[in-house]
Structure 1
Amino acid sequence: MKVSKAGSALAIAAALALTATACGGGSDKGGSGDTVVVGIKFDQPGLGLKTPDGKFTGFDVDVANYVAKELGYKKVEFKQAVSAERENLIKNGDVKFVVASYSINDKRKAVVDFAGPYFLTHQDLLVRADDNSITKAEDLNSKKLCSVAGSTSAQNVKEKLAPKADLLEQGGYSECLTSLENKSVDALTTDASILAGYAAQPANQGKFKLAGLSLSDENYGIGLKKGDKDLQTKINAALKKMVSSGEWEKAVKANFGPANYKNEPAPQITEGS
């Protein structure tokens, strides 16, 4: 049978469309069927880290895997969620939910919803091990400080703690750590849990120390699309089960224990109630 050029073109177009769909090009980018796409950090030891061999480790990873399993998914695909892009990933449907040291606050809740919280930490400072010049927040006013764009820690410093600090905002915490090591900045600020993860890495041991300040309360929540109450309820139920089963405590000790980080007890779930 002879096929016209127009018919051939239509056939090729249809085949390409099918191929794109099979490769994940459909509209439900947050996952479908047995697979769910979850946003995590790729550069936070102890919380969300992509290792050189392509594996994912950290407390947020353990929480994400537990929740996904409770939701009925058999496979989790992790997508990098840098601080400044978390809301966009959720709104655009690129992920089903985000577990990425994502502090719950009113500004974010105007754009996305949260489940949880599932972890409570406090903002602190990481300084070089031989630096004793920073003992309180006010000391930062004459110092160079590094934080990550889009983080609540950077906003907290600018607006409340040290408005005269020379603040450098980077794309990721690993960039701030490099700046701290080579003395381009005097301190790195973010949540104590994140800082402890970096300080505990074998390559960093003995180089840095936590200042030991509690500059804020940071309740980590799981970010999801605004108005998705069904998903919020299901994730909250999964988090409660993770705590009651002992798996939450087990994950905390596995990920933060090596840094001698003293964690707070599991917080009460308040979102969606």
Structure 2
Amino acid sequence: MKLRKVTAASAAVLALALSATACGSDDSDDADSGSSGGGTIKVGIKYDQPGLGLKEPDGSFSGFDVDVATYVAKELGYDADKIEFVETKSADRENAIARGDVKFIAATYSINDERKEKVNFAGPYLLAHQDLLVKTDSDITKGTDLNGKKLCSVTGSTSAQNVKEEIAPKAQLKEYGGYSECIAALQSGAVDAVTTDDSILAGFAAQDKYKGQFKLAGLKLSNENYGIGVKKGDTATTDKINAALTKMVSDGAWQEAVDANFGPANYKNEPAPKIGDIVS
């Protein structure tokens, strides 16, 4: 009988412990439970965009989006060593959020109406523009100067096609598999200009091996409002990220990140956008 009483008591204690553990695991999934709960947070970024989201050979990460994501995660309660960066390619961003693969995504994620039907957006945190990257001694100063010149972009991108159709119909389009190939072609003289978002171009041009060789034309051919993607309907996390972005601008960390990641390419960034202020 004594043995049975001890076993019953132990079972009761075990049940209470399991109940407490279950409650704790629910709390650890909250966006602000990092410091108090000791958990981790998964954040989606690009792995292949220098100056924005790049996985370095040593396994570390660098870039403006990485700096923004790290700042935001800290405001949500997660120190840098509690962040797990997950590669999220452009075509899979909405699915990654919906599946719960990541808590939020900061990956040159332009806000538009179609995407807003699938995800919540915090921000914008950067206003970028489609632009041209040319050699520092290039005589290309306006879009029409591309007539008769070789213009490079990535296969499947609409950027170069838009330039050819709307600005320079006699431009010779060259398509490569990635922007790194376009930049190498520009360096060698195989093409005369590369086009995509100015932030992406500035990031590539800021690499040590390219410093001083290229410049942005500053044409502002489109407006790209970069936002942070959050699960559709998760207004609590969206509001917290917006508060974090506002603080990042006000305390100077936003401008420091811009200067550190884009400065070597003489990137003339727009002022930090206000939350919810979408430039069409």
State the TM-score, normalizing by the size of structure 1.
Answer: 0.75
1:13 matched residue in structure 2: none
> Is 1:108–2:115 an aligned residue pair?
yes
Q: For residues 71 and 135 of structure 2, what CA distance do their matches in structure 1 show?
A: 36
Shift of 1:65: 0.5
Q: For residues 246 and 229 of structure 1, what CA distance do their matches in structure 2 show?
A: 26
1:198 matched residue in structure 2: 204
Q: Relative to structure 1, is the Cα distance of residues 169 and 40 closer, same or farther in structure 2, using a 3 angstrom cutoff? A: farther
> Is 1:98–2:105 an aligned residue pair?
yes
Q: For residues 168 and 224 of structure 2, what CA distance do their matches in structure 1 show?
A: 18
SS of the equivalent of 2:44 reads strand
Shift of 1:175: 2.8
Q: 1:240 aligns with which of 218, 241, 246?
A: 246
Q: For residues 197 and 218 of structure 1, what CA distance do their matches in structure 2 show?
A: 16
Contact 1:83 1:151 in 2 (8 A): no
Q: Relative to structure 1, is the Cα distance of residues 152 and 38 closer, same or farther in structure 2, using a 3 angstrom cutoff? A: farther
Deviation sequence 1:3-29 (CA, Å, 0-9, x none) = xxxxxxxxxxxxxxxxxxxxxxxxx9x
1:124 matched residue in structure 2: 131
Q: 2:48 aligns with which of 43, 49, 72?
A: 43
- Name the structure where helix makes up a greater proportion of residues: 2
Long gaps (5+) in structure 2: 1-28
Aligned pairs (5 A) from 1:109-258 = 109-132=116-139, 134-140=140-146, 142-148=148-154, 153=159, 156-157=162-163, 160-161=166-167, 167=173, 170-258=176-264
Long gaps (5+) in structure 1: 1-27
User: Which deviates more from structure 2 when the two are superposed, residues 172-181 or residues 40-49?
Assistant: 172-181
Shift of 1:68: 0.8
Matching residue's letter, 2:57: P
Matching residue's letter, 1:214: K
Matching residue's letter, 1:79: V
SS of the equivalent of 1:49 reads strand
Q: How many residues end up aligned between the 2 structures?
A: 242
Q: For residues 121 and 231 of structure 1, what CA distance do their matches in structure 2 show?
A: 24
State the TM-score, normalizing by the size of structure 2.
Answer: 0.73
Q: Relative to structure 1, is the Cα distance of residues 209 and 260 closer, same or farther in structure 2, using a 3 angstrom cutoff? A: closer
2:71 matched residue in structure 1: 66
RMSD: 3.0
